[in-house]
């Protein structure tokens, strides 16, 4: 049974929404980016219940001071990696909504002068490339932020606390460091793969396949 034009357009809109890529992106690229969206959401959902729900309780220090452990935890993890990657997902969803709204506005039957201009092949390709590059920038910013925040891609299991609320030579241990590293590295890997796909789409963009005359 042939797919109606309306159903096909809704399917295209859905893939754009989940992938955050324009309709000029190849279907393989859009499907891959959409799949990565579900992978991110799944990792965050599982990690929220199993690792990050009570992560401060798994941070143990050899100190008798009441406020020492919370202060050391804030020093050790000023921003939870869960919060960072959850914010990344929100930013990517916002980016995808913007791309989807642009796609719908340039496919309306009744066109304004601006919409008619945006329908131009060359302009569409330029905006398509800008969407991909903005996605690359977003992914790169969050990878870099995670790296700087963690002092590397791996959280240390044992750290020395330097806060003034503790006595000298206080050592703290994060019991969930291995699980956090696995989940965080998984999210970083998804970001890297998304960057590679976006860069590949830029290289094989319609601007290179069909140069405007």
Q: What's the pLDDT tens digit per position in 168-206?
A: 888 999 988 899 999 999 999 999 999 999 999 998 876
Burial of 49 (0-12, 13-18, 19+ CB in 10 A): exposed
> Is 114 a residue whose pLDDT tops 60?
no
Bridge partners, 173 (sequence order):
60, 158
- Structure tokens that stand for 114 in this block: 């601006």
Backbone angles phi, psi at 169, to 5 degrees: 60, 45
Would you state the pLDDT for residue 150?
Answer: 83
pLDDT of residue 211: 43
For the chain, the average pLDDT equals 81
Helix (H) / strand (E) containing 104: helix 81-105
Strands 158-161, 170-174: pairing is antiparallel
Is 80 exceeded by the pLDDT of residue 74? Answer: yes
Q: How far apart are the C-alpha atoms of 32 and 26, rounded to whole Å? A: 10
The 10s digit of each residue's pLDDT in 35-63 is 999 999 999 999 888 888 888 888 899 88
Which residues have C-beta within 8 Å of that of residue 102, sequence separation ≥ 6? Answer: 22, 118, 127, 131
* Tokens linked to 68: 């020492």
Domain coordinates of the chain in residue numbers?
Answer: 26-209
- Cα–Cα distances (Å) from 112 to 13, 56, 98, 186, in that order, read 21, 55, 19, 44
Kindly report whether the global pTM for this prediction surpasses the value 0.85.
Answer: no
Q: What are the residues facing 61 on neighbouring strands?
A: 172
Task: Using CB atoms within 10 Å of the CB of residue 88, give its burial: 0 to 12 exposed, 13 to 18 middle, 19+ buried.
Answer: buried
Q: How far apart are CA 134 and CA 127, in angstroms?
A: 10
* Domain 26-209 in this protein, CATH class: mainly alpha
């Amino acid at each position: 049974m042939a797919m109606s034009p309306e159903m096909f357009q809704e399917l295209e809109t859905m893939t754009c929404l989940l992938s955050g890529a324009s309709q000029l992106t190849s279907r393989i690229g859009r499907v891959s980016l959409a799949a990565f969206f579900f992978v991110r959401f799944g990792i965050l959902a599982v990690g929220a219940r199993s690792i990050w729900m009570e992560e401060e309780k798994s941070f143990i220090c050899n100190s008798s001071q009441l406020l020492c452990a919370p202060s050391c935890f804030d020093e050790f993890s000023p921003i939870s990696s869960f919060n960072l990657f959850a914010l990344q997902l929100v930013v990517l969803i916002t980016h995808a909504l913007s791309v989807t709204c642009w796609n719908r506005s340039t496919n309306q039957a009744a066109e304004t002068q601006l919409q008619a201009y945006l329908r131009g092949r060359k302009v569409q390709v330029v905006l398509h490339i800008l969407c991909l590059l903005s996605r690359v920038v977003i992914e790169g910013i969050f990878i870099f932020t995670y790296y700087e925040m963690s002092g590397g891609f791996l959280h240390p299991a044992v750290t020395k606390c330097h806060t003034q609320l503790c006595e000298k030579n206080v050592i703290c241990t994060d019991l969930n460091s291995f699980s956090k590293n696995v989940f965080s590295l998984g999210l970083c890997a998804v970001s890297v793969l998304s960057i590679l796909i976006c860069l590949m789409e830029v290289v094989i963009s319609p601007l290179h396949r069909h140069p405007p005359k």
